[in-house]
């Protein structure tokens, strides 16, 4: 598989993701503030946490790189009045977002572009904030990605990245070729590389960013995936009707992901400022 084929997974029928994600179809870690939080509540908490890390007051120009089914851009448009642009190479996600933004009455604030972030022509210094939730794992050239994120941000603008990482360079080397890692990378996504946090930090600093916060969200992602697994089980018959064997494949991938947290893998949020 190649990087270009990454979207074999994200270009599946959006209804599949509606069966096991929360109602916003946010496909990344939630943030649980209370033991009793539902997945839907925890995903909203997470979006407000991202808004806080970005320092949103309302009305900012926001770029979401790897926008999925629009959870973040639709939320920031509705709740904070942000002019929100989402980019992703998966064409079916854009059709879904266009429908949702019209239903929610935020079509004037929300727009999307189909393509790989690395290849898109975007005006320099034109955004107050850039977000990447679970997307940088699909981008091979970290220096190019952080460099481009900085170029499109205004001075003092903020980049928020949350990503799954190997716990260390040694864990990356030891586990990258294991069968479970290979199944998730090749059979589910097509391409992905979970780097250690140190590589993300080095690329951010190399691009000229100042790191202003690092948050460990590992336990939150474990619980998010537990909730997704429960949803996969509850909707197994519907998922298998949408794709034969789909429920079993999703379960296998989510179980592999949850087995590694804290031992081989971590999930971090990195907030970076374009200070100068």
Ligand X SMILES: C[S@@+](CC[C@H](N)C(=O)[O-])C[C@H]1O[C@@H](n2cnc3c(N)ncnc32)[C@H](O)[C@@H]1O
Give the residue among 24, 112, 99 at the shortest CA–CA distance from 62: 112
Site for ligand X in 80-109 (CB under 6 A): 87-90, 93
Q: What is the DSSP letter of 209?
A: P
**Nearest distance from residue 206's CB to ligand X, in Å?**
19
14/80 Cα distance (integer angstroms): 26
**Nearest distance from residue 237's CB to ligand X, in Å?**
25
14/16 Cα distance (integer angstroms): 5
Q: Which stretch binds ligand X (CB under 6 A): 20-28, 98-106, 202-210, 232-240?
A: 20-28
Residue 117 makes contact with ligand X by CB under 6 A:
yes
50/260 Cα distance (integer angstroms): 25
**Nearest distance from residue 155's CB to ligand X, in Å?**
24
Site for ligand X in 135-194 (CB under 6 A): 135, 138-139
| 178 CB-side CA count, 13 A | 13
Burial level of 136, CB count in 10 A (0-12/13-18/19+)?
buried
**Nearest distance from residue 36's CB to ligand X, in Å?**
23
**Nearest distance from residue 132's CB to ligand X, in Å?**
7
Nearer to ligand X, 67 or 250 (CB): 67
Give the residue among 12, 31, 24 at the shortest CA–CA distance from 162: 31
Contact footprint for ligand X (CB under 6 A): 6-7, 10, 26-28, 65-68, 71, 87-90, 93, 116-118, 133-135, 138-139
């Amino acid at each position: 598989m190649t990087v270009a084929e990454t979207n074999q997974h994200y270009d599946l029928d959006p209804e599949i993701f509606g069966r096991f994600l929360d109602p916003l179809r946010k496909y990344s870690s939630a943030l649980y503030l209370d033991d009793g939080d539902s997945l839907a509540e925890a995903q909203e908490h997470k979006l407000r946490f991202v808004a806080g890390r970005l320092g949103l007051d309302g009305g900012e120009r926001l770029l979401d790189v790897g926008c999925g089914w629009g959870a973040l851009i639709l939320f920031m448009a509705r709740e904070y009045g942000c002019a929100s642009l989402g980019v992703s190479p998966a064409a079916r996600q854009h059709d879904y977002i266009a429908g949702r933004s019209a239903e929610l009455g935020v079509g004037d604030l929300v727009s999307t572009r189909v393509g790989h972030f690395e290849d898109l022509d975007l005006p320099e210094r034109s955004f107050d904030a850039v977000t990447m939730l679970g997307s940088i794992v699909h981008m091979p050239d970290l220096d190019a990605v952080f460099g481009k994120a900085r170029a499109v941000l205004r001075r003092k603008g903020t980049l928020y990245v949350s990503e799954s990482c190997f716990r260390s360079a040694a864990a990356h080397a030891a586990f990258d070729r294991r069968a479970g890692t290979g199944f998730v990378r090749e059979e589910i996504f097509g391409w992905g590389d979970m780097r250690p946090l140190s590589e993300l930090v080095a690329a951010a600093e190399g691009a000229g960013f100042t790191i202003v916060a690092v948050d460990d969200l590992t336990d939150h992602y474990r619980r998010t995936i537990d909730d997704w697994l429960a949803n996969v089980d509850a909707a197994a018959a519907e998922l298998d009707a949408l794709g034969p064997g789909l429920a079993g494949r999703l379960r296998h991938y989510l179980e592999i992901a949850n087995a590694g947290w804290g031992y081989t893998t971590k999930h971090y949020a990195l907030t970076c400022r374009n200070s100068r």
